[in-house]
C-alpha cells in the first residue's frame, strides 16, 4: 500500500492543489493500483482531518468518465478505513453521476459531513481526479488556522472573519493543504501502519454494501429539490414543474457530461424552453474543453454550438464541461463572431447581476464583488460603476467563494464573483461556478427590460460607449446587442515556456528586469507601477505558500490601467501563462511585445 502510494506521488502528470487532485488514467474502466492507493490515502486523510461527527455521513458523486466508478470506490475505501480507525459507523450516499453544483447543494440539503466529486472538469476524457467538499460540521465550515501565522485572521470593516469555506464548497485552501500534507506524511511513514491496518479490514463487499446497500435515490431527489429552491431564492423565481415556458429557447450542449438531462429539466422549472443536443450520458461528441480549437476542423470548438443555435432558432447557446460547472455562452451564428469571449461573459454577468440587485433595492448592506487576479479590468470597472467594492483574490474558485463567504459574514452583500480568465461566475449563494446559471442569466436578461434599462442608465452615467440594445416584435431584447453594450478590454492570454527554474527565482528576475529595462519604456505612458502577489484570499507582500502562484504588475495612469499577469503551469514543467489586459488599446499594442521581451530576458538569464 505505502510503496504504491509513493509511486503515485512520483507521477509527473499528477496535480495536487487546493482545487483538487487529478492525473491521466486512460479510458478505463480500471485504474492503476498506484492511483487506487493514492485515492485510498486521500480518502483516509480527508476523513481524519475534517470529519468530527460521531455519526458521519459522506457523499460521493462523479461525472461520466469511464474511470469514475473505480475512483469513487477507491475513495470510499479510504473513507471507510478512516471511520474504522476512529471506531465510527459511516454512512456513504452514492449520488452517482451528478453535476458539481448539484453535488455541493446535496451536502447542504442532506446536512452531510462532507463528500467528494470525482471529476477532471474541463480536462480531456482520459484525465480524472477528485475534489473534496466542505461538510456541515462547524470545524469544516469555520476552520481557524494558527493565529500566529500570517494567514490567520482577516479584519474586514473592523470585524473579524475566519479563513473558512461555506458548507458544500470545495475545501478551503488551508484545509486542503493539510490533507495534501497528511498524504505526503503517510508516504514518508507517519501513521502508515495505522492506515495499512485499517485498509486491510475493508473488503470489496464492505465497499459494495456502503455504496449500494441503502437508499441512494431519495437523497438525490431531496438534493435536486434543494437545488431548485436555492436557485429560485437567488433569482426571485418560484420553480414549478408545470411552469409556462416563456423564456428562451436556449440551446444546451452538455456533451454527454453530468449536465445531460438535468440542466434542461431545471431550466424548464424556471420557464426556460430548452433544446438539448449531444445529451447521451457518457458519450461526448467533441472535446471536453469547448473554449479552444477543434483539431479536426481547425475552427473554434464553440462554432458548432453557435451554428446549432442558429439552426434551431434558439436565442442563445450554452456549452458545458463534463461536470457542468462551466458554461460557455454563444450567440446564434455561422462564424466565430457569434462566440462571446469568456472575459466579456464575466463582465456581462457582473453588470446584469448588479443591475438586478439595484432594481431590487438591496441598499441596507455595503456592496462587494470578488474577482480573481486574472480577471479583466473591464469587470472591475463595471462593478465599481455600481458602487461595489472590488476584492481581489488569488486565482482559484475556492478563493473567490471563500472571500465571498467571509465578506457576507462581515455584513456585506455579495451578489456575484468571477474566477479567472475563463469567465467562470459564482452567482448568489452558490458555492461554485455553475454553467446552468449562465444560461439562467442570459434568459432572464432578455426577458426583463427593466434590467437592461438599469444597465443603460449606469453605462451612460459611467461614460461607457455601448450599442443601443433593441427588442424584437415580442418585446424581447436581443441578447447580441445587450452583450455588445458591455465594455471589454484589449486582452490576450499567452502560453510561454522557460527552462526549468524555481518559480520565485523567475519572479525575482522578472521584477529586476522590469525595473531596469521595461519600466523606462512604459513610464511615458503610465504614472506608476505596483508588483502584486495574492495568496488565497489575501494580497501579500511576499508569498509564504506555493511558489507557483501568480504574479502581476499593475500599471496606472490618471485615466486608465493595465496589468501583466504571470502564472506557472501546475501540470507542464517550464510552461507559464501570461495575461495582458489594458483599458486602452494603444497601451496594449505597446505592452504585448514588451511583456514578451520581459519574460524572455528573465527566463534566459543564467
Query: For 455-475, what is each residue's pLDDT tens digit?
Result: 888 888 887 766 566 666 666
Question: For residue 224, is it within any domain?
Answer: no
CA atoms within 13 A on the CB side of 392: 17
Which residues 6+ apart lie within 8 Å of 362 measured at CB? 413, 415
Mean pLDDT of 372-390: 95
- Answer with the one of 291, 307, 333 that is the final residue of a domain: 333
| Spatial separation of the C-alpha atoms in residues 343 and 333, rounded to whole Å | 20
Helices first, then strands: H and E counts in the chain: 20, 22
Q: Report the pLDDT value the prediction gives residue 159, as an integer from 0 to 100.
A: 30
- Answer with the one of 309, 333, 357 that is the final residue of a domain: 333
Q: Report the pLDDT value the prediction gives residue 568, as an integer from 0 to 100.
A: 85
Residues 72 and 29 in one domain: yes
Report the sign of the C-alpha dihedral through residues 139, 140, 142, 147, in that order. positive
Residue of higher predicted confidence among 487 and 100: 100
Q: Report the pLDDT value the prediction gives residue 292, as an integer from 0 to 100.
A: 84
Question: For residue 207, is it within any domain?
Answer: yes
Question: For residue 221, is it within any domain?
Answer: no
Q: Report the pLDDT value the prediction gives residue 505, as an integer from 0 to 100.
A: 86
Query: For 317-349, what is each residue's pLDDT tens digit?
Result: 999 999 999 999 999 999 999 999 999 999 999
pTM over 0.75, yes/no: yes
* Maximal CA-CA distance, the chain: 72
Mean pLDDT of 409-422: 91
- Answer with the one of 464, 484, 504 that is the final residue of a domain: 484
Question: For residue 189, is it within any domain?
Answer: yes
Which residues 6+ apart lie within 8 Å of 242 measured at CB? none
Question: For residue 317, is it within any domain?
Answer: yes
Calculate the alpha carbon distances from 522 to 143, 197, 557 in Å: 44, 63, 11
| CATH number (domain holding residue 396) | 3.40.120.10
Flag whether pLDDT at 122 surpasses 50: yes
Flag whether pLDDT at 571 surpasses 90: no
Total of domains in the chain: 4
Residues 90 and 13 in one domain: yes
Q: Report the pLDDT value the prediction gives residue 29, as an integer from 0 to 100.
A: 96
Question: For residue 156, is it within any domain?
Answer: yes
**Percent of the chain at pLDDT exceeding 70:** 92
Q: Report the pLDDT value the prediction gives residue 303, as an integer from 0 to 100.
A: 96
Query: For 19-36, what is each residue's pLDDT tens digit?
Result: 899 999 999 899 999 999
Residues 192 and 293 in one domain: no
Compute CA 262 distance to the chain's CA centroid, rounded to the nearest angstrom: 20
Residues 537 and 468 in one domain: no
Residues 354 and 324 in one domain: no
Q: Report the pLDDT value the prediction gives residue 465, as an integer from 0 to 100.
A: 61
Query: For 178-216, what is each residue's pLDDT tens digit?
Result: 999 999 999 999 999 999 999 999 999 999 999 998 899
| Spatial separation of the C-alpha atoms in residues 481 and 357, rounded to whole Å | 21
| Spatial separation of the C-alpha atoms in residues 308 and 251, rounded to whole Å | 8
Given the C-alpha cell 452583500, which residue does it identify?
Answer: 413
Which residues 6+ apart lie within 8 Å of 125 measured at CB? 27, 65, 66, 284, 288, 322
> Which of 15, 14, 9, 1 is closest to 44 using CA atoms?
1
Mean pLDDT of 215-239: 94
| Spatial separation of the C-alpha atoms in residues 197 and 86, rounded to whole Å | 12
Q: Report the pLDDT value the prediction gives residue 538, as an integer from 0 to 100.
A: 85
Residues 94 and 26 in one domain: yes
pLDDT band at 56 (very low <50, low <70, confident <90, very high): very high
* Three-state DSSP state, 359: helix
Query: For 342-351, what is each residue's pLDDT tens digit?
Result: 999 999 999 9
Range of the domain at 112: 2-215
Q: Report the pLDDT value the prediction gives residue 362, as an integer from 0 to 100.
A: 66
Residues 53 and 271 sit within 8 Å (Cβ to Cβ): no
Which residues 6+ apart lie within 8 Å of 326 measured at CB? 121, 122, 320, 422, 424, 433, 435
**Percent of the chain at pLDDT exceeding 90:** 72
Residues 412 and 443 in one domain: yes
Mean pLDDT of 394-418: 93
Cell of 342: 469568456
Q: What is the mean pLDDT of the chain?
A: 90
| Spatial separation of the C-alpha atoms in residues 461 and 464, rounded to whole Å | 8
Residues 357 and 315 in one domain: no
Residues 530 and 468 in one domain: no
Most confident of 54-63, 285-294, 481-490: 54-63
Residues 87 and 196 in one domain: yes
Amino acid at each position: 500500500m505505502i510503496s504504491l502510494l509513493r509511486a503515485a506521488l512520483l507521477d509527473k502528470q499528477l496535480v495536487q492543489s487546493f482545487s483538487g487532485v487529478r492525473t491521466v488514467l486512460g479510458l478505463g474502466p480500471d485504474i492503476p493500483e498506484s492511483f487506487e492507493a493514492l485515492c485510498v490515502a486521500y480518502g483516509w486523510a480527508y476523513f481524519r482531518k475534517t470529519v468530527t461527527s460521531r455519526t458521519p455521513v459522506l457523499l460521493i458523486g462523479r461525472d461520466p468518465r469511464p474511470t469514475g466508478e473505480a475512483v469513487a470506490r477507491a475513495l470510499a475505501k479510504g473513507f471507510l478505513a478512516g471511520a474504522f480507525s476512529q471506531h465510527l459507523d459511516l454512512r456513504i450516499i452514492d449520488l452517482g453521476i451528478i453535476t458539481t453544483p448539484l453535488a455541493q447543494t446535496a451536502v447542504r440539503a442532506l446536512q452531510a459531513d462532507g463528500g467528494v466529486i470525482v471529476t477532471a472538469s474541463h480536462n480531456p476524457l482520459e484525465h480524472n481526479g477528485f475534489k473534496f467538499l466542505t461538510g456541515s460540521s462547524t470545524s469544516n465550515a469555520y476552520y481557524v488556522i494558527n493565529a500566529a501565522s500570517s494567514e490567520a485572521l482577516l479584519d474586514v470593516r473592523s470585524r473579524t472573519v475566519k479563513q473558512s469555506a461555506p458548507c458544500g464548497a470545495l475545501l478551503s485552501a488551508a484545509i486542503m493543504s493539510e490533507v495534501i500534507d497528511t498524504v505526503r506524511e503517510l508516504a514518508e511513514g507517519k501513521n502508515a501502519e495505522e492506515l495499512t491496518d485499517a485498509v486491510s479490514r475493508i473488503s470489496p463487499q464492505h465497499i459494495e454494501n456502503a455504496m449500494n446497500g441503502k437508499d441512494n435515490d431519495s437523497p438525490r431527489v431531496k438534493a435536486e429539490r434543494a437545488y431548485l429552491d436555492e436557485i429560485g431564492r437567488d433569482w426571485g423565481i418560484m420553480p414549478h414543474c408545470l411552469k409556462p415556458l416563456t423564456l428562451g429557447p436556449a440551446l444546451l450542449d452538455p456533451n454527454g457530461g453530468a449536465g445531460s438531462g438535468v440542466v434542461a429539466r431545471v431550466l424548464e422549472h424556471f420557464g426556460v424552453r430548452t433544446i438539448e443536443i449531444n445529451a447521451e450520458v457518457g458519450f461526448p461528441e467533441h472535446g471536453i474543453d469547448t473554449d479552444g480549437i477543434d483539431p479536426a476542423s481547425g475552427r473554434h470548438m464553440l462554432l458548432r454550438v453557435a451554428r446549432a443555435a442558429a439552426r434551431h432558432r434558439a436565442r442563445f447557446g450554452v456549452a458545458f464541461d463534463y461536470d457542468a460547472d462551466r458554461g460557455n455562452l454563444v450567440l446564434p451564428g455561422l462564424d466565430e463572431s457569434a462566440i462571446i469571449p469568456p472575459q466579456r461573459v464575466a463582465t456581462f454577468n457582473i453588470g446584469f447581476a448588479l443591475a438586478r440587485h439595484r432594481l431590487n433595492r438591496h441598499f441596507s448592506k455595503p456592496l462587494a464583488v470578488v474577482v480573481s487576479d486574472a480577471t479583466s479590468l473591464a469587470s472591475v470597472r463595471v462593478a465599481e460603476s455600481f458602487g461595489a467594492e472590488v476584492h481581489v483574490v488569488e486565482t482559484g474558485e475556492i478563493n473567490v467563494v471563500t472571500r465571498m463567504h467571509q465578506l457576507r459574514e462581515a455584513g456585506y452583500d455579495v451578489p456575484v464573483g468571477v474566477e479567472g480568465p475563463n469567465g467562470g461566475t459564482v452567482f448568489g449563494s452558490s458555492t461554485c461556478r455553475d454553467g446552468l446559471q449562465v444560461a439562467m442569466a442570459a434568459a432572464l436578461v432578455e426577458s426583463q427590460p427593466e434590467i437592461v434599462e438599469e444597465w443603460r442608465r449606469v453605462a451612460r452615467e459611467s461614460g461607457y460607449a455601448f450599442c443601443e440594445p433593441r427588442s424584437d416584435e415580442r418585446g424581447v431584447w436581443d441578447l447580441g446587442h445587450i452583450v455588445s453594450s458591455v465594455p471589454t478590454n484589449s486582452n490576450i492570454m499567452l502560453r510561454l515556456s522557460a527552462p526549468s527554474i524555481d518559480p520565485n527565482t523567475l519572479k525575482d528576475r522578472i521584477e529586476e528586469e522590469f525595473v531596469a529595462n521595461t519600466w523606462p519604456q512604459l513610464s511615458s505612458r503610465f504614472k506608476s507601477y505596483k508588483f502584486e502577489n495574492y495568496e488565497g484570499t489575501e494580497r501579500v507582500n511576499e508569498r509564504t505558500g506555493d511558489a507557483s502562484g501568480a504574479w502581476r504588475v499593475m500599471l496606472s495612469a490618471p485615466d486608465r490601467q493595465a496589468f501583466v499577469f504571470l502564472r506557472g503551469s501546475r501540470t507542464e514543467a517550464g510552461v507559464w501563462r501570461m495575461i495582458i489586459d489594458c483599458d486602452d488599446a494603444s497601451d496594449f499594442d505597446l505592452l504585448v511585445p514588451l511583456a514578451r521581451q520581459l519574460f524572455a530576458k528573465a527566463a534566459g538569464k543564467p
